Structure 1
Amino acid sequence: MTLTESSQSLDELLKPRRLFRRLIAVIADLRLAIILLLSIALFSISGTVIEQGESVAFYQQNYPEDPALFGFLSWKWILILGLNHVYSTWWFLSLLVLFGSSLIACTFTRQLPALKVAQRWKFYQEPRQFQKLSLSTELKTESSSSLIAQLEKKGYKIYQENQAIYARKGIIGKIGPIVVHVAIIVILAGSIWGALSGFLAQEMVPSGATFGIKNIIEKGLVAASPLTKNWLVKVNRFWIDYTPDGKVDQFYSDLSVVDKEGAELDHKIIHVNKPLRYDGVTFYQTDWGIAGVAVQINNSPVFLLPMAQLSSKGSSRIWGTWIPTKPDLSEGVSLLAKDLQGTMLVYDKEGNLTSAVRPGIPLEINGVTLKVKDLIGSTGLQIKSDPGIPFVYTGFALLMLGVMMSYVSHSQIWILQANECLYIGGKTNRAQVSFEREFLQIIEEINEAQTPTLSVANEIKN
């Protein structure tokens, strides 16, 4: 093999390595990281502005094509771009992966090498080396013992080689940025894992019913089906507290987690901002409704009728049902209710208001005695499983720790004893004013320690 052929073979072997290094350099570029971070922030904001996980009809009603929001954003584009579930779209997850890769590359190519350099001690052997330091001076003394004592008192770690001394403190400040990078990577990993393995569901459950999680709105690619859970949830009771003026103050759900045989595994009364957590699944109280009404005609057994929410032009919600007053269903009345406080309106078949009734009070109508026993409320639950949450919380804890560590100044001081002089110089990466004060204080204390020694020496000489 000729020299030229050997050189070509070597170039072919080194080419992939060079391409890899160029790729790492591009990924680790600070400008790319900033662009990715701004993109993630922008799409995250869009996920808070545009409602997530709603039905197609909801987006058609709230984001019509004419007029489109901002002139172009209609329900079609929201569905096409996946803006109705931003945090689980492939492009958003790709941004997270790319940003995490940028942080990892930056950590290994910049932060870790910078830490290794900071951990090495180096000595200045020539007085001229002190001229390049931001702070430097020289003292007419041949002893450095008092200076070493002052540095140790202020927390410096001392390294000495013959007449040269190197002192440093605050190496933790160099570790802080690495911890920050690791924390952000952990947060990103937790977010990605949560999007891939979690699910979001909603259930509207009548009081007294037992249910399994079925109405799934979103589900990650590798998420286990909630139907495989070996437990169910029972709504023991649902109720609402009202303010004196009749407005909803708070609504509550008494929930029990039960196994297949009905044995209770967990129990909690939940309300808004106080969820139930069990087996990695969180149950949030988000809504309420009226599921049905228990009625009695004359002396008949009490029977249940479902109530449906009716469309209304106003902001208030209304539920209604039809109650037959004859066995052949030829006659009946309509019953309307707007809340669970008990007052209901009764309309005849022509749509005329005939009476207002409360539970337990009999009403004579169409030749029969109608008695409304009770209104049955239903609880609206948002059910969420996010296995990435522990990683996200851990990442945020590390992030706060890393930020605090990063504020610690990394200070360095060099000392050289030469030509019957003591050369002193130093620098720091932050808190320059504080370091200057500390440096001057050390010099002053050395001068004060020298003054009595010089006085005694002069007396002996005289």
Structure 2
Amino acid sequence: MTLVFAWCQTQWRTVSLWGRSLVQVVADLRLAIVLLLVIAVASIAGTVIEQGESLASYQENYPEHPALFGFLTWKLILILGLDHVYQTWWYLSLLILFGASLMACTSLRQWPALKVARKWHYYQRPEQILRLNLSQVCDHKPLGEVALILQKKGYWVATENAKLYARKGLAGKIGPIVVHASLVVILLGGLVGALTGFLAQELVPSGQDFQLKKVIEAGAWVRRLPPVRGRVHRFWIDYTPGGEVDQFYTDLGLLNATGEEITRKTIHVNEPLRWRGLTFYQTSWGIDGLRLRFNNSPILELPVKPFTAGNGRKLWGTWLPLKPDLSVGVSLVIPDLQGLFLLYDQQGKLLTTGRVGTALHIENIDLTLTELIGSTGLQIKSDPGVPMVYLGFAGLMLGVTMSYFSHSQVWGLRVDNQLYLGGKTNRAQVTFEREFLEILHQLEIQSQGSEL
């Protein structure tokens, strides 16, 4: 039994030694810098390379011959996961390792430094003070007057018999800890978003309901989508006097399980609808269909299909039969939602142009296009890590600001009617030297006033 216990102790000491060595390696500043640079490069790649596109899109934009920059091809992008950088195992591992490095550095360096800075530490011998960069020996100067001067300058002062210790700017020691903690919170927010967030897109015709179905990206921990139902009350576009798109709008409502509307907002680009962690963005638009009437017939609804013209412009079109046997018809082309449309014959020759609400007489038929049905492109995003990221950035700004405070210390010791004063600071050395000289000057003035 004794041998077993001794063996267990030996193994535990070995594991502890390996653990401490591993923590020392992880806490190395050089490792943290390398990790940060690799994360930055990977994030840039995820920004430059389109994320979540189809295989055909990558094959078209990143061919093998010639390869972009001589090496970047669609195969390399898929192998490395550069088409979904922020969900890859290696990117998440980098975030975890960088966070571990920050926490190890904080526990081994920043936290002990703060504990030392918080202690009241008196110097016992004059030699200790005289070895400081700033020191002065004053004759017949009371220690109490020094304490009062330092307190007026914002120092925390402690005295014990003939010894004095004062400090200020302890926030400068806390700042790096706040910075590291904030970076860890930001990394955690990124991890939470990557693992539990999702991105979906829906193209919804004006006046119709929709459900969340078409998922573009989803985190590894996403098992099912929230039962989101919505209604596009209306979609419309404002155009400039020159005919260009100025802004497109969607009157969007969200519904509960019984079909009752629980919230409603008119969204446009850079003005989304936010509801319970979901954000609905206005991203694109299209034309879904049209409504028309032949002579005095009821209003008919027909779908349209998008296509690209020879000049690269996106158009929408459909074919309209003009006879019951479908032997004669015209092609209807719509360039936008401003109400203009064009009619072409079966040989592709332009017959005429028209506007919504105006009747055209073709092949003994009065054709009236009553309405164009626009469709809105919605992007629905869920990122539970965003509040953590915002909190982390707020803490990061606070920590950086705190780090600019100088941690200044002053010691005093009275021996045989002589006052030994000295001090040091961790930054802003010139400012501290001026303050130290000002302390000596005020001490001299007060001493002269006391003698009078």
Q: Residue 288 of structure 2 corresponds to which residue in structure 1?
A: 291
Q: Residue 406 of structure 1 corresponds to which residue in structure 2?
A: 403
1:366-381 superposed matches below 5 A: 366-381=363-378
Shift of 1:329: 2.2
Is it true that 1:310 corresponds to 2:307 in the alignment?
yes
State how far apart, in whole Å, the 2-side matches of 1:197 and 1:6 are.
Answer: 45
Shift of 1:421: 0.4
1:29-428 superposed matches below 5 A: 29-226=28-225, 228-229=226-227, 231-428=228-425
Q: Residue 459 of structure 1 corresponds to which residue in structure 2?
A: none
State how far apart, in whole Å, the 2-side matches of 1:117 and 1:53 are.
Answer: 51
Structure 2 unaligned spans of 5+: none
CA separation of 1:439 and 1:334: change in aligned 2, threshold 3 A: same
Q: Is the CA contact (8 Å cut-off) linking 1:411 and 1:428 kept in structure 2?
A: yes
**TM-score, with length taken from structure 1:** 0.95
Q: Residue 439 of structure 2 corresponds to which residue in structure 1?
A: 442
State how far apart, in whole Å, the 2-side matches of 1:299 and 1:76 are.
Answer: 58
State how far apart, in whole Å, the 1-side matches of 2:264 and 2:7 are.
Answer: 73
Q: Is the CA contact (8 Å cut-off) linking 1:235 and 1:255 kept in structure 2?
A: yes
SS in 2 for 1:72: coil
State how far apart, in whole Å, the 2-side matches of 1:2 and 1:181 are.
Answer: 45
**TM-score, with length taken from structure 2:** 0.97
Shift of 1:124: 0.8
State how far apart, in whole Å, the 1-side matches of 2:280 and 2:265 are.
Answer: 10
State how far apart, in whole Å, the 2-side matches of 1:445 and 1:12 are.
Answer: 63
State how far apart, in whole Å, the 1-side matches of 2:80 and 2:161 are.
Answer: 69
RMSD: 1.7
Shift of 1:66: 1.7
Q: Is the CA contact (8 Å cut-off) linking 2:143 and 2:164 kept in structure 1?
A: no
Shift of 1:294: 0.8
How high is the sequence identity, in percent, across the aligned residues?
A: 56
Q: Residue 460 of structure 1 corresponds to which residue in structure 2?
A: none
* Amino acid corresponding to residue 392 of structure 1 in structure 2: V
Moved more, 307-316 or 131-140: 307-316
Q: Is the CA contact (8 Å cut-off) linking 1:47 and 1:83 kept in structure 2?
A: yes
CA separation of 1:350 and 1:99: change in aligned 2, threshold 3 A: same
Shift of 1:14: 0.9
SS in 1 for 2:397: helix
State how far apart, in whole Å, the 2-side matches of 1:9 and 1:374 are.
Answer: 83
SS in 1 for 2:78: helix
Moved more, 57-66 or 239-248: 57-66
* Amino acid corresponding to residue 86 of structure 1 in structure 2: V
State how far apart, in whole Å, the 1-side matches of 2:254 and 2:262 are.
Answer: 5
Structure 1 unaligned spans of 5+: 457-462
SS in 2 for 1:382: strand
State how far apart, in whole Å, the 2-side matches of 1:327 and 1:71 are.
Answer: 59
Q: Is the CA contact (8 Å cut-off) linking 1:197 and 1:224 kept in structure 2?
A: no
SS in 1 for 2:31: helix
State how far apart, in whole Å, the 2-side matches of 1:93 and 1:13 are.
Answer: 31
- 1:24-83 CA distance string (max 9 Å, x none): 001110000000000111111111111112222222222222221111211222222111
- 1:312-336 CA distance string (max 9 Å, x none): 3434211111111222322211111
Q: Is the CA contact (8 Å cut-off) linking 2:141 and 2:447 kept in structure 1?
A: no
Shift of 1:160: 1.6
* Amino acid corresponding to residue 216 of structure 2 in structure 1: I
CA separation of 1:161 and 1:368: change in aligned 2, threshold 3 A: same
State how far apart, in whole Å, the 2-side matches of 1:292 and 1:93 are.
Answer: 44
State how far apart, in whole Å, the 2-side matches of 1:142 and 1:179 are.
Answer: 41
Shift of 1:419: 2.0
Q: Residue 12 of structure 1 corresponds to which residue in structure 2?
A: 11
* Amino acid corresponding to residue 71 of structure 2 in structure 1: F
State how far apart, in whole Å, the 2-side matches of 1:247 and 1:255 are.
Answer: 24
Shift of 1:367: 2.7
Equivalent pairs, count: 452
Q: Is the CA contact (8 Å cut-off) linking 2:143 and 2:162 kept in structure 1?
A: no
State how far apart, in whole Å, the 2-side matches of 1:142 and 1:343 are.
Answer: 94
State how far apart, in whole Å, the 2-side matches of 1:391 and 1:320 are.
Answer: 47
Shift of 1:142: 4.5
Q: Residue 21 of structure 2 corresponds to which residue in structure 1?
A: 22
- 1:148-203 CA distance string (max 9 Å, x none): 11011111111122211111111111111111111010010011001100101111
- 1:406-431 CA distance string (max 9 Å, x none): 11111100000002100000001111
CA separation of 1:94 and 1:2: change in aligned 2, threshold 3 A: closer
State how far apart, in whole Å, the 2-side matches of 1:382 and 1:84 are.
Answer: 19
Shift of 1:224: 4.5
